[in-house]
Structure 1
């Protein structure tokens, strides 16, 4: 079966007066993370890793920060879209590994809760989610949270006849369209958003 990997990265500065949410988990802390959405740096990195693994772009492709609809939005919405892209491409998650880099709050005491939260959002087992923490020693980033995420996907192995049937159906639709309008129109994008990326490009 085919395998793919994806890598995601994100960073946000801390900001007073907003709640701190990491990995979908509300954390008690004097400051939260600044961002157009809820600033969940971990879910943002995981979302980009998933989208990157299937060459579907990044969070900005689907949820541009210039769009007021996503102001203060829960990052689980972004993650769900990435999961849909993964499923559409015919893959499933094998495991995810992440690294959080921040001075405070300390992640180790809540790593188990974070793992459970992320696993639930992804629909995988907690043992398939890695949560690690580092401090930004000597980097002058004590007021910033950084997240790295790597994901491994496995092909669902859609049988050949299914793919052939889909191709036949699309050809028949092309014939109908040509008959109606007098010219061939591409219908390959019907049913889902077109991305400027080739999901068969492994590079």
Structure 2
């Protein structure tokens, strides 16, 4: 069974007047994170880790900051695209580990809730998601939030691969992808269809 590892990094400066969203979780704080989208530094790092693991580029490849369509967009859109890419490549998540580096707000009191949020978005168990928090001591980064993410993927089991190969209708293919990534989503735009065949011909 093949394995792939991906690594992601992102950083955003704090900015007054915008909501703070990290890991898909809205957090009460006096400042949010500046960015073209909602500035979710953790989901951005995870998205890049997933895309990198299957050599699919990065967030900017799919969602360039110059495109006004993504102004203020929720970062789970980016994450769903990365999940579709790894499923199409024939992989699924084993586990993911992350580190948040910021002076404030304190992440430890809400780390459990944040793990649940990220796990739900990824379609995995909370026990498969690690979230750690550090302060940027001596780095002069008090006004910045930084996130690192590492993901381990495994190739889809042989029996799952056969199930995907025997899907002859678009609805069947969508159902297979849904089972792999844990959430229903429209995959018709991917344009990747498999040639049907008769399993009775297998020897």
TM-based fold match above 0.5: yes
Listed as ranges, the matches of 1:1-203 within 5 Å are 1-158=1-158, 191=191
Structure 2: state its 5+ residue gaps.
167-189, 193-203
* SS of equivalent to 2:118: helix
Q: Distance in 2 between matches of 1:158 and 1:121?
A: 26
Q: Distance in 2 between matches of 1:67 and 1:145?
A: 24
Q: Distance in 2 between matches of 1:121 and 1:191?
A: 23
Structure with higher Rg: it is 1
Answer yes or no: is the 8 Å Cα contact 1:90–1:158 preserved in 2.
Answer: no
Answer yes or no: is the 8 Å Cα contact 1:12–1:41 preserved in 2.
Answer: yes
Answer yes or no: is the 8 Å Cα contact 1:98–1:132 preserved in 2.
Answer: yes
Q: Distance in 2 between matches of 1:113 and 1:143?
A: 24
Instruction: Tell me how far 1:158 sits from its aligned partner.
Output: 4.4
Q: Distance in 2 between matches of 1:36 and 1:53?
A: 24
* SS of equivalent to 2:61: helix
Pairs aligned (count): 168
Instruction: Tell me how far 1:191 sits from its aligned partner.
Output: 1.5
Structure 1: state its 5+ residue gaps.
167-189, 193-203
* SS of equivalent to 2:32: strand
Provide the alpha-carbon RMSD of the alignment: 1.9
Runs of 4+ in 1 over 4 A off after TM superposition: none
Q: Distance in 2 between matches of 1:18 and 1:191?
A: 37
Q: If the length of structure 2 is used for normalisation, what is the TM-score?
A: 0.79
Q: Distance in 2 between matches of 1:22 and 1:191?
A: 32
2:178 equivalent in structure 1: none
Q: Deviations over 1:166-198 (max 9, x none)?
A: 9xxxxxxxxxxxxxxxxxxxxxxx825xxxxxx
Q: Distance in 2 between matches of 1:16 and 1:37?
A: 15
